[in-house]
Amino acid sequence: MPDFEVLITGPVMPLIREGLEARFTVHKLHEMPDKEAFIAAHGARIRALVGGAGHGRIDSAFMRRFPNLRIVGNFGVGYDGIDAAWAGQNGIVVTNTPDVLTDEVADLAMGLLIATIRRLPQADAYVRAGRWLDGAFPLTGSLREKSMGILGLGRIGSAIAARAQAFGLELAYHSRTPKPDVSFRYYASLVEMARDVDILMVIAPGGEATRRIVSRAVMEALGPAGTLINVARGTLVDEPAMVELLRSGKLGAAGLDVFEDEPRVPEALFGLENVVLLPHVGSASHYTRNKMGQLVVDNIASFAEGRGPLTPVPETPWPPIG
Ligand code: NAP
Ligand code: 8YV
């Protein structure tokens, strides 16, 4: 399709690059010696942008530089790095990768929860250091007779809930609206939910609406016996307050897959015994990343061939309203 040119905004998996190159003229912004000069000279030819976490924001100022832009394909279900509302108002569709990663992220969330409460990385380090010879590893916390509040009972939150039920956890949730046909207790107030549960599982979208929604007050309500698990975005948590509360013992423990300024992680966390730190690996299996990558390609191809996007985000419905 010669007149449908695609610009990839940063490194992507070969499956995406090759899938797009098989159909379109593809440019790679990160390989351009002079990005600004490339955009100035060729921006008008670009119909599709393909981006993902770590490629930089695709905000209105960036999108304006491509006057014939029609679609932005995001590698990931979370699209807080894209100004989707502006795109929708300007006839640009944004696609993401929902559903294909839901089970993988839910598995990781439960794994991180168990690793944090049962201190699996610390136990592994204990064996490797030869310390078992000196005596047994200290007893740990437990999931038995515990309750968990889920912030964001959407696709992934619901999949986590299904797993957590099998583990015997008592469940509650907070979101902007109560969900129909859900038997767990709904809390309109996040701080009240945090006060009542042992574990807070964070899995709502990033962006301005949720910035630091897990505030100091929420973490103080969770308390010294509480555990915070964040598999959503670092921006949802007041990170400086979290570090301070974990250090002082006013927050019991945390399992974190995401951070405010990834890949930079507050170094104060490195020395803490009550945290488990992961490098944003919720969806990072070969199986699931391949599904996500294929969905990125399929969205762009379906749109370019006139069949519409497969998974447009709610801010850019298809067909467009009005
Ligand atoms: P989803 O199906 O859209 O669910 C999002 C949930 O969050 C909904 O229940 C929504 O309910 C709630 N929510 C939205 N805004 C809220 C607000 N301001 N306050 C409270 N609750 C709010 O999304 P998903 O597919 O489950 O994905 C969730 C997020 O997980 C993604 O956006 C992404 O950031 C993150 N994620 C992380 C990884 C990882 O590798 N760690 C992987 C995949 C996804 P209401 O609309 O009723 O509020
Ligand atoms: C991705 C994610 O790994 O889907 C999301 O929102 O956070 C992860 O699944 C990430 O966006 C790609 O780097």
Walk me through the domains of the chain, giving residue ranges and CATH numbers. Answer: 5-100+287-304 (3.40.50.720), 102-277 (3.40.50.720)
User: Tokens standing for 4?
Assistant: 């449908």
Q: Which atom of ligand 1 is nearest to the CA of 281?
A: 40
Best residue among 99, 107, 156, 171 to mutate for probing ligand 1, ranked by most atoms within 8 Å of CB: 156
Q: Could you give the dihedral angle defined by the CA atoms of residues 229, 235, 241 and 245, in that order, rounded to the nearest 10 degrees?
A: 10
> For position 2, what pLDDT does the model report?
64
> For position 321, what pLDDT does the model report?
84
What spatial distance separates the first Cα and last Cα of the chain, rounded to whole Å? 29
Ligand nearest to the CA of 55: 2
> For position 3, what pLDDT does the model report?
83
* Residues 294, 292: Cα–Cα separation, whole Å: 5
Residue 141 has what DSSP assignment?
Answer: -
Does pTM top 0.85 for this prediction?
yes
Beta strands across the sheet bearing 93-95: 25-28, 5-8, 46-52, 71-75, 93-95
Q: How far is the CA of 304 from the centre of ligand 2 (A)?
A: 24
What SS3 state is found at 254? strand
> For position 16, what pLDDT does the model report?
98
Q: In 77-202, which ranges are continuous DSSP H helix?
A: 84-89, 102-118, 120-128, 155-166, 190-196
User: Tokens standing for 127?
Assistant: 């064996």
**pLDDT above 90 coverage of the chain, percent:** 97
Ligand nearest to the CA of 231: 1
Q: How far is the CA of 320 from the centre of ligand 1 (A)?
A: 23
Give one word for 283, left, alpha or beta, with left for phi > 0 and alpha for psi -120 to 50.
Answer: alpha
Q: Which atom of ligand 1 is nearest to the CA of 176?
A: 48
**pLDDT tens per residue across span 120-129:** 999 999 999 9
* Residues 190, 307: Cα–Cα separation, whole Å: 41
> For position 322, what pLDDT does the model report?
72
Ligand 1 neighbour 112 (Cβ under 6 A) = no
Catalytic positions, written as ranges? 233, 262, 280
* Residues 86, 79: Cα–Cα separation, whole Å: 13
Q: Which atom of ligand 1 is nearest to the CA of 233?
A: 34
Picking from 221, 258, 259, the residue whose alpha carbon sits closest to that of residue 240 is: 259
What does the pLDDT average to over 4-19?
97
The amino acid present at 140, given as its one-letter code, is: T
pLDDT class for 246, splitting at 50, 70, 90? very high
Pocket of ligand 2 (CB under 6 A): 52-53, 75-78, 101, 282-283
